[in-house]
Amino acid sequence: MRLIFVNRFYWPEENATSQLLVDLAEALAALGHTVTILTSRPAGSALPTREVHRGVTIRRVAGTRWHRLGLPGKAVDFLTFYVRVLGTLLFTAQRGDAVVALTDPPLLGIGAWLAARFCGARIFHWVQDVYPEIAAHIGGHAWLQLFTPLRNLSWRRSDGCVVLGSDMAALVAGTGVAPDKITVSPNWAPAGLDVQPFDAANGLRKAWGLEGKFVVAYSGNLGRVHDLEPILEAATQLRGDPDIAFVFIGSGAQHAHIQSIASQRGLTHVHFRPAQPRADLARTLALGDLHLVTLLPGCEALVFPSKLYGIAAVGRPVAFVGPPDCEIARLIESHGLGRAFDRNAMDALASYICELRAAPELRQRQGAAAARFYRDETGLSRAVSAWEKRLTSPA
């Protein structure tokens, strides 16, 4: 089968959607499918416009990277990619091909749907984030909801929508997409992660000045859909305990804001580190005695924090801060991976942190449950099987 994936990022870039797409594309290519990636090539980049990497053909279109200029810069980045990649898709897709559009940039699926249909190809949506609802809820850009009817039409007229969980599936079904077109396929941990002993990151602890500390870690994107300020409330309550450290690892829209609050409050036990290379991810995740996952209220059906899977793969307990009735909270509680907390219950989170620090056997038990959950309930092999079934299903 000829498969064409469209996403703004791909190898060698290492953001979340790039890593997921690399794993899936290479696995499908290894099964004998012809896989092509249409992605971006930053201005001035030395990357070739076309190459084959691990059996996957990569076609890169020129694009801007002006996101540091704020919303206008992002708009230019999105627009230049839209125009160039959809033009390339029109000359790449053939009748009978399967085109898979991700959601970076937002609403990419609308153009991909039109281009694929023009070429006689089938079209599938891999819904990582739900736009324009996120932009309206987080950024206040309510005007973008003008695109919602067209987005819904592109979903309904597609050959399938692959979503990350049951909450997102319910939202997609609510737009009129037929149930047999919706596939729930969770994301997975980056390839190569496995259970790490609790002393696996001793070298990193020493390098980062965390020896002897109980480390509460947040690793990943500090984006607007993540509810990060409550973490600092818990950190404030524990500021008098010299043996507990909070470590934020990553970057994102909220990084400067959260760092500023920590500085203003004098939270010297809260540390910030840049995003680490994928090759070091196992050691970085092993650093945390407890990992935090957060989600802003109102976003529970719009995004699924896939960092949960990397944490589970290395066998670490998880504390979730967010809506208590959402899917990720239910998963954590029902599988015994840790605890879920409403954003207004940071005293309870602080107590749980102290409980885990004082009870290594509880930490081991919840870490083992996390590893078992990842092994039995999710993973790349399951996702590849789900994708093959979806892509090869009759029209």
Rounded CA-CA distance 297/300 in Å is 7
**Structure-token pair, residue 162:** 């692959």
Q: How far apart, in Å, are the Cα atoms of 1 and each of 39, 230, 297?
A: 20, 47, 41
**Residue (of 167, 47, 147, 58) closest to 103 by Cα position:** 147
pLDDT of residue 229: 97
Residue 54: how many other CB atoms lie within 10 Å: 12
CA 167-170-174 angle, to 5 degrees, is: 145
- Residue 134: what pLDDT? 95
Q: Where are the domains of the chain?
A: 2-188+379-392, 202-377
Does 2-188+379-392 match 202-377 in CATH topology?
yes
Would you say 300 and 167 are in contact if contact means Cβ atoms under 8 Å apart?
yes
331 contacts 374 by C-beta, under 8 angstroms: no
Retrieve residue 168's tokens.
């997102």
Q: Which residue has the tokens 């449950």?
A: 369
Residues 14/108, Cβ–Cβ less than 8 Å:
no
The predicted model scores a pTM of: 0.93
Q: What per-residue confidence (pLDDT) applies to 71? A: 67
pLDDT score at 333: 97
pLDDT for the residue numbered 63: 78
CATH code for residues 202-377: 3.40.50.2000
- 75: number of Cβ within 10 Å: 14
* Peptide bond between residue 305 and the one before it cis (omega within 30 degrees of 0): no
pLDDT number for residue 375: 93
Q: Residue 191 has what pLDDT?
A: 79
Low-confidence ranges of the chain (pLDDT < 70): 67-71, 394-395
Burial class of residue 123 (count of CB atoms within 10 Å of its CB; 0-12, 13-18, 19+) = buried
Q: In whole angstroms, what separates CA 192 from the centre of its chain?
A: 17
Widest pairwise Cα distance in the chain: 65
Q: Tell me what pLDDT residue 45 has.
A: 83
Q: What pLDDT, on a 0 to 100 scale, did the predictor assign at position 383? A: 95
What is residue 67's predicted lDDT score, i.e. its pLDDT?
A: 66
Choices 3.30.9.10, 3.40.190.10, 3.40.50.2000, 3.60.15.10: CATH for 2-188+379-392: 3.40.50.2000
